[in-house]
Structure 1
């Protein structure tokens, strides 16, 4: 990781490193370009374990999901794996560790356990994104921007803990079946998607998965996303991200086309990515998602 310089209270120069779990869905190339250290969760098909985003990229994951006779499951990052990543931070440098929501994974707890090493005291700051996938990614983007402004790790962490409350993540799923199987929603909640062409709309509320509504067909699902955005507004001064699951982004492109009035003036500010195996395992293919910061005031 190349140095990004901040200054401590004594005027000494130090590097600020950003470490993030793979649920934020950065490719290896994107992480390198943004100077991020990615610590992967694991995705397990049968008795074969893959490092999310490293030896199982998004497209290949959905191919395996379709081909496999068994449903995959995921495994959190361990304290040892975070400790190994933190061990690469040079003495005197600082680090901000950003994790997916502590309410849906023990990964945050693992990061805190690793950061509790007395040798790291005052140099490592762990932030619970209270989000996942593209929502978590928004917070990482803000961390990178603040690091570029020369803020210290402690100042970055404090800013992220303040800004995370503004993040909104909304998704239209093809089914709630995958979330039900993973125990993320109840069987009763999953039943709303049982009828033909009913598309559940979910969000992350206070760090947990919540069913926000249902729509008949993908078009109405997209309209419900628009309604949610209209209710909160979008802070276009901060990052906006779109995501999709499966082997095609056709549904996402259709949503953007149907929402030209919302996105047309801001196309160059919107990033798009495939949702990787950590979250894809639990939502399944055929989903589209939007993450953004709601304005304050």
Structure 2
């Protein structure tokens, strides 16, 4: 057990086996249907989320962990004499970061460091894994934060959303846009820019065409890629994820191309069959 405990929240979408293997603390966000609150990944998984949306015809609300949630999660490790580095969901998307900062003030100075990933999903996970490996190498919290400061703007996050339905349910597109988009088979592509989910462009046509475009975009950046770790993150698109994984593994020569499943919070905003490729650009 190292002196530094790395924390993230449930939106980091790291594989559960990795969370266990690398002793990563996870603070779940909340998903709310009516008066019922569920902890993302604890009380509710993604297939169950979609079942509830189908049954109610409505999307849930999502909420950040409270400062008290963070204090409860951090306290046992502080009491054990460890320092905590928490890497949060983008402050542009949620109050999660601010609530963690509030919680950090309840501990002695230097015991809890909160770092804003300015990203989501495994765009956070990439930064968490950089921190984990740096901690294993004996780096201090300050040294790890300096590394993350350099890595953060180099994270590339690009998702293809398969249907406009969840964007419509969430009030992010009109009924007419949803109808026309469905008729023309339009799939929006979302990128994370300056910590925000930003519509990048639209792909019209088959899903295969959309996946090919997503893959081509990533492959065009091979000279810039950090070939340590690439993620394919998806919401109930297992076959497509494996296809992209094999293609990226053979063409990039990356040390690891990993597949991860999007949790409830990410899935509730994007919908089923959403899939993305996430990687960092090299620091060199």
TM-score normalised to the size of structure 1?
A: 0.85
Q: Distance in 2 between matches of 1:182 and 1:199?
A: 16
Aligned counterpart, 2:249:
263
Task: Single out whichever of 172-181 and 195-204 deviates more from structure 2.
Answer: 172-181
Aligned counterpart, 2:278:
291
**For each residue in 1:211-264, what CA deviation from the matched residue of structure 2 results, as whole angstroms up to 9, or x when unmatched?**
111112212212321342244335243321111113x4123334446xx3x431
Task: Single out whichever of 171-180 and 284-293 deviates more from structure 2.
Answer: 171-180
Secondary structure, counterpart of 2:62 in structure 1: strand
Q: Is the 8 A contact 1:27 1:53 kept in 2?
A: no
Q: Distance in 1 between matches of 2:57 and 2:215?
A: 36
Aligned counterpart, 1:229:
218
Indicate whether 1:144 and 2:132 are aligned: yes
- Give how far 1:296 is off: 4.3
Matches within 5 A, 1:1-297: 3-4=1-2, 15-26=3-14, 28-91=16-79, 92-117=81-106, 119-182=107-170, 185=172, 187=174, 193-215=181-203, 216-233=205-222, 235-246=225-236, 248-256=237-245, 260=247, 262-264=248-250, 266=253, 269-296=256-283
Q: Distance in 2 between matches of 1:197 and 1:58?
A: 24
- Give how far 1:69 is off: 3.5
Q: Distance in 1 between matches of 2:240 and 2:46?
A: 17
Shift in CA distance, 252/68, structure 1 to aligned 2, threshold 3 Å:
farther
Q: Distance in 2 between matches of 1:78 and 1:155?
A: 28
- Give how far 1:207 is off: 0.7
**For each residue in 1:158-189, what CA deviation from the matched residue of structure 2 results, as whole angstroms up to 9, or x when unmatched?**
21122111100111111244235445x5659x
- Give how far 1:64 is off: 3.3
Number of equivalent positions: 279
Q: Is the 8 A contact 2:90 2:119 kept in 1?
A: yes
Q: Distance in 1 between matches of 2:70 and 2:228?
A: 28
Q: Is the 8 A contact 1:28 1:54 kept in 2?
A: no
Q: Is the 8 A contact 1:61 1:276 kept in 2?
A: no
Task: Single out whichever of 153-162 and 128-137 deviates more from structure 2.
Answer: 153-162
Q: Distance in 2 between matches of 1:20 and 1:160?
A: 14
Q: Is the 8 A contact 1:198 1:214 kept in 2?
A: yes
Quote the RMSD (CA, aligned, Å): 2.5
- Give how far 1:126 is off: 0.8
Q: Distance in 2 between matches of 1:125 and 1:249?
A: 36
Shift in CA distance, 71/37, structure 1 to aligned 2, threshold 3 Å:
same
Q: Is the 8 A contact 1:167 1:292 kept in 2?
A: yes
Q: Which runs of 4+ in 1 moved over 6 A?
A: none
Q: Distance in 2 between matches of 1:264 and 1:28?
A: 25
